[in-house]
Amino acid sequence: MEGYPPIAEHGLIGDLQTAALVTTDGTIDWWCCPRFDSPSVFASLLDHDNGGRFRIGPEGDDYVARQLYFPDTAILITRFMTPDGVGEVTDFMAVQDPQRASDRHRLVRVVRCVRGQMRFVLECAPRFDYGRQPHELELTEEGAVFRTPSLQLTLHGAGQRVMQRHGNDVTGALTVGAGQAGGVVLESAAPGPPRRTVPEELLESFTQTARFWRGWLARSTYRGRWREQVDRSAITLKLLTYAPTGALVAAPTAGLPELVGGERNWDYRFTWVRDGSFSVHALLGLGFTEEAEAFGRWLAERPGRRAGRPG
């Protein structure tokens, strides 16, 4: 459909409680918070005009983009090549105590110029509750706060020096030269006001996230010729896991209808026992026994909960 990027032009990031999709132009066009099945904050994947988005990308459209993952992790790099330079946006969600259900989630976006110089534009335009709930904006020297009665998002690290108010959204621009980097953090249920982000903090968050994913992947017993592809598939299945219960969602998105107004329009942010069983069977075949045990416990608890009994 015109105006909507193909699903193949997306990367997936997450923290084992929720997940976001990032397009090859640097737009987060799908994110539900604080859980996979929560109402959306960004959903321009489904509604370009009213769904909400968070873009960081080159100014203009004279660029070539490609996406790749930092090896053995769920850290996504979107690389932009322009006549004036080469730049990157690195996206990930910090993984902190994933087994404990939390309303606090941190979406980190790091901008870096590799060669020459590049002017990046920023637009953060959340649309809460599938675009149905209006929000208020507070813009400060260190960032912005988007408030609704049910959810608050805090944007750290890009205050009035970079951003301007655009209605109740924010827009901005930043020019970076070779070797320069900066970043912002979008946080739900933040314990305090917006604050300045420093390179050391962003690097530490990046390092901890990479260490988590590489530590998890090291448990794989697969040593065959397709290791890179198998490892990437395993990480994707892990990203679809809701860690507090061990259940796997069928997909991180709501149903994308085969045709507008059609009947095949289901919500895939739930666990379908058949699909979840296939996923867990694949993980178990790679040596990930803890995921299989957690899924089995979750599944065993369902009949009792459905009947209204404890557990």
Range of the domain at 36: 7-217
- Other C-beta atoms closer than 10 Å to the C-beta of 103 total 13
Q: What is the pLDDT of residue 265?
A: 76
Same domain, 29 and 77: yes
Q: Which of 193, 217, 241 is the last residue of a domain?
A: 217
Same domain, 241 and 99: no
Q: What is the pLDDT of residue 308?
A: 46
Strands 143-147 and 136-139: antiparallel
The band of 305, judged by pLDDT with boundaries at 50, 70 and 90, is low
Same domain, 209 and 125: yes
Q: Which residues contact 89 (CB under 8 A, 6 or more apart)?
A: 26, 56, 57, 77, 78, 80, 109, 110, 111, 112, 120
pLDDT 10s digits, 4-53: 899 899 999 999 999 999 999 999 999 999 999 999 999 999 899 999 99
2 occurs within a structural domain = no
The band of 309, judged by pLDDT with boundaries at 50, 70 and 90, is very low
Is 80 exceeded by the pLDDT of residue 3? no
Q: Which of 217, 246, 267 is the last residue of a domain?
A: 217
Q: What is the pLDDT of residue 306?
A: 57
Q: Which of 185, 217, 249 is the last residue of a domain?
A: 217
The band of 1, judged by pLDDT with boundaries at 50, 70 and 90, is low
CATH value at residue 124: 2.70.98
pLDDT 10s digits, 256-297: 667 777 777 778 899 989 999 999 999 999 999 999 999 999
pLDDT 10s digits, 84-135: 999 999 999 999 899 999 999 999 999 999 999 999 999 999 999 999 999 9
Taking all residues of the chain, what is their mean pLDDT, rounded to a whole number?
93
Q: How far apart are CA 57 and CA 5, in angstroms?
A: 15
The number of distinct structural domains making up the chain is: 2
197 occurs within a structural domain = yes
Is 70 exceeded by the pLDDT of residue 64? yes
Same domain, 242 and 183: no
